[in-house]
């Protein structure tokens, strides 16, 4: 199963010889009714074969072209692990399958190029974003779009302040940190309770929450080093400004989702985070549309479907710049 991205759509749009088969199907995600998924696919496959034969393709060639999907029909695990929709693409020496995070109509297209119009909602200025759900007991990173959200596992991410400081103490057991007796007269004392932490003369963060968040930021930075997607913080209000002090990720959004994220469903975090990132995506789309209008008439922009997809790609490019 391939990951749908703008690069994948660009590859689908490449000109190739031979007939192209595009299949779109809504999928049942749970329960005994998932057994309807391969039945629906088999029906679409029969329609595709009939259309290939009607276009003069020899029966054996049609069967060879459709064989990868034919072989999927008996794969029970594949059909039980579906999202809202499924897209299948076949051409000579090309075979792609994509789980789609939105429901699509049942469509069978046989033509000289792949039919990508149902994919456009996934490329219309609603790209992916991340939610960092913070509490003193746990950390979760979630990757979302307007249509879905999934939790992401990160190697080395501390799971709560106790976990973070336990390993910190092990690493620094041979080092001496100044106590209140070590501090000269007039020195600043650490803040009590949950206030924002400060640093002493050694520049060592004294607030345990800030030290904890430095470890979270380090693990996150290693995972996100090649990312340009917006990051939204979710957590109790007093924690968010402390994390911003530790943050080094350049695409952290100004707004956040306030409230304790523990026990909140990913879908709830997605809905609230989307209100933060949606204006950001709309601005990128407006800039891309303005650039597209500027290019019309210069021979550098097109008005057909491929041109529309190019505009969507431009949105993604501007968004990540």
Tens digit of pLDDT for each residue in 105-148? 999 999 999 998 888 766 654 468 999 999 999 999 999 887 77
**What pLDDT does 190 receive?**
34
What would the mean pLDDT of 136-164 be, rounded to a whole number?
90
What would the mean pLDDT of 266-288 be, rounded to a whole number?
81
What would the mean pLDDT of 35-43 be, rounded to a whole number?
93
If one compares 29 and 141, the residue with the highest pLDDT of the two is: 141
Q: Of 137, 136, 96, whose CA–CA distance to 8 is shortest?
A: 96
Residue 117 structure tokens: 């119009």
* Superfamily holding 6-123: eRF1 domain 1 (3.30.960.10)
In this model, does residue 277 exceed pLDDT 50? Answer: yes
Q: Of 317, 283, 255, whose CA–CA distance to 131 is shortest?
A: 255
**What pLDDT does 35 receive?**
87
**What pLDDT does 125 receive?**
47
Note the Cα 93 to chain centre separation in Å.
29
What would the mean pLDDT of 221-241 be, rounded to a whole number?
93
CATH of domain 129-175+192-276: 3.30.420
What would the mean pLDDT of 235-259 be, rounded to a whole number?
95
**What pLDDT does 172 receive?**
55
Domain ranges of the chain: 6-123, 129-175+192-276
Among 123-132, 273-282, 286-295, the range with the most confident prediction by mean pLDDT is: 273-282
Neighbouring CB atoms inside 10 A of 122's CB total 20
Percent of the chain clearing pLDDT 90 (strictly above): 48
Q: Are strands 85-91 and 20-26 parallel, antiparallel or unpaired?
A: antiparallel
Provide the pLDDT confidence category of residue 171 given band limits of 50, 70 and 90. low
Among 37-46, 64-73, 107-116, 170-179, where is mean pLDDT lowest? 170-179
**What pLDDT does 3 receive?**
57
In this model, does residue 70 exceed pLDDT 90? Answer: yes
In this model, does residue 205 exceed pLDDT 80? Answer: no
């Amino acid at each position: 199963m391939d990951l749908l991205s703008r690069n994948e759509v660009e590859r689908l749009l490449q000109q190739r010889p031979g007939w192209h088969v595009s299949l779109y199907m809504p999928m049942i995600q749970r329960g005994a009714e998932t057994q309807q998924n391969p039945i629906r696919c088999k029906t679409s496959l029969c329609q595709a074969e009939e259309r290939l034969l009607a276009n003069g393709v020899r029966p054996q060639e049609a069967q060879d072209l459709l064989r990868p999907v034919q072989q999927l029909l008996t794969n029970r695990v594949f059909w039980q692990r579906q999202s809202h929709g499924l897209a299948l693409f076949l051409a000579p020496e090309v075979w792609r399958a994509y789980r789609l995070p939105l429901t699509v109509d049942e469509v069978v297209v046989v033509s000289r190029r792949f039919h990508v119009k149902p994919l456009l909602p996934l490329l219309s200025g609603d790209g992916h974003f991340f939610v960092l759900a913070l509490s003193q007991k746990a950390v979760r990173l979630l990757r979302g779009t307007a249509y879905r959200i999934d939790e992401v596992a990160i190697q080395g991410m501390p799971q709560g302040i106790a976990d973070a400081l336990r390993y910190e103490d092990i690493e620094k057991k041979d080092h001496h940190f100044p106590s209140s007796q070590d501090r000269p007269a007039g020195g600043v004392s650490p803040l009590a309770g949950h206030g924002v932490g400060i640093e002493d003369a050694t520049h060592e963060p004294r607030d345990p929450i800030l030290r904890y968040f430095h470890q979270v930021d380090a693990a996150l930075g290693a995972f996100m080093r090649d990312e340009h997607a917006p990051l939204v913080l979710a957590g109790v209000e007093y924690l968010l400004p402390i994390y911003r002090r530790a943050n080094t990720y350049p695409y952290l959004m100004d707004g956040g989702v306030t409230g304790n994220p523990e026990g909140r469903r990913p879908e709830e975090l997605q809905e609230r985070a989307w209100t933060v990132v949606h204006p950001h995506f709309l601005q990128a789309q407006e800039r891309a549309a303005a650039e597209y209008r500027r290019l019309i008439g210069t021979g550098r922009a097109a008005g057909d479907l491929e041109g529309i997809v190019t505009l969507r790609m431009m949105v993604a490019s501007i968004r990540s710049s």
